[in-house]
Amino acid sequence: MAGVIRDPFGRSLDYVRISVTDRCNFRCRYCMPAEGVAWIPHERIMTYEDILFLCEVLTGLGVRRVRFTGGEPFVRKGFVPFLAEVRNRFPHLAMAVTTNGSFLEAWADRLPALGLDSVNVSLDTLDPSKFTAMTAMGGIDQVLRGIDAVLAAGSVPVKLNTVVVRSVNAAEIEDLVLFAGRKGVLLRFIEFMPLDGQVWSREEYVPAEEIRGRLPAPDAWLPDEAPTQGPNGPARYYVHERTGQRVGIISAVSDHFCGRCNRLRVTATGEIRSCLFRDDSVPIMEALRMRDASALQALILAAAAAKPREGGTGLPKETDSPGYRHMSRIGG
């Protein structure tokens, strides 16, 4: 069995998030500026064959879990057949997808055969007009139908991700928890991360402690240490003492989880980013296109070696503004 990639601080990196596209059919206000982001030309994006080769080298280095993300992964033509090919070639690789949910209805019946660990759907509000305001173009009905279709198809656990943005959905936390409880799905709230100065603002940021205080009957939620994503997952979980419902809060800003970080990220243009909050990256496209496994291994290990102990994820100082890292290009 392959060893595990370790960084200089002893963290084992067995989880890789791979972005299959920078493109998206939404413009969520916490992710992209209202005018959108210029799309990267197709020829600079990893082909599916490139990604399959990458998976081969990653699994050879002991990576056990991949998550495909974007942009919106389902906007890329051939995404579901690609997932089927990954499953076919790597039967033991744990595989998950993060999506805005808008294409799920069309693909739901194909998902059970893929052996996915989870489909994480971003759902920030249940209010149709707020949903359209939050995503700049999306329609909530389509996403809700998609969630129901995946649940009806069975076999694939659905998780919901909600980025809390004060003026939009802070007052809706209770409703979202009740909705997730009714659907029987795990909901995770995510602190609005200051990645992109064009979209982030201090006033819109809601800290994890406040999110926790806004859960319905907050005292009924007890810390739950049982791991959901393996021991290094970034969320802190709470379980309702009476109903047993669990919710997670991902506090990337107020309580860094750097010590537990187990991941690398690969952008759609084939750059490994060892930390979401750093701009340095290791380009792997040439090694990928040459199908040079040993060069690729060396680059992956170099990226792991460059992983900082901490990403400096805290709130920017009043005088600072965050940089211009577009989450849609990194993959979240």
Q: By CB under 6 A, name the one of 13, 21, 70, 118 that touches ligand SAM.
A: 70
Residue 166 CB, shortest distance to ligand SF4, in Å, is 17
Alpha helix (H) residue ranges in the chain? 48-60, 79-89, 104-107, 128-135, 140-153, 166-169, 173-183, 208-213, 285-289, 293-305, 327-330
17 scored as a contact of ligand SF4 (CB under 6 A)? no
Helix (H) or strand (E) holding 250: strand 246-250
Residue closer to ligand SF4 by CB (options 32, 299) is: 32
Residue closer to ligand SAM by CB (options 21, 287) is: 21
CB atoms within 10 A of CB 307: 23
* DSSP class per residue in 268-286: TTSEEES-TT----EE-HH
24 scored as a contact of ligand SF4 (CB under 6 A)? yes
Residue closer to ligand SAM by CB (options 162, 274) is: 162
Residue 72 CB, shortest distance to ligand SF4, in Å, is 5
CA 76 vs CA 88, 122, 250, 261: distances in Å: 20, 18, 28, 28
Residue closer to ligand SAM by CB (options 121, 288) is: 121
Q: Which residue has the tokens 């039967």?
A: 91
By a kind-dependent CB cut-off of 5 to 8 A, residue 251 interacts, out of ligand SF4, ligand SAM, none, with none
Cα 189–chain centre separation: 12
Angle between helices 79-89 and 48-60 (to 10 degrees): 30
Residue closer to ligand SAM by CB (options 240, 326) is: 326
192 scored as a contact of ligand SAM (CB under 6 A)? yes
Q: By CB under 6 A, name the one of 5, 7, 17, 27 that touches ligand SF4.
A: 27
190 scored as a contact of ligand SAM (CB under 6 A)? yes
For residues 66 and 18, the answer to whether their CB atoms sit within 8 Å is yes
**Binding interface with ligand SF4 (CB under 6 A):** 24, 26-28, 31-32, 70-72, 100, 122, 327-328
**Binding interface with ligand SAM (CB under 6 A):** 24, 30-31, 69-70, 72, 98-100, 122, 161, 163, 190, 192-193, 195, 327-328, 331-332
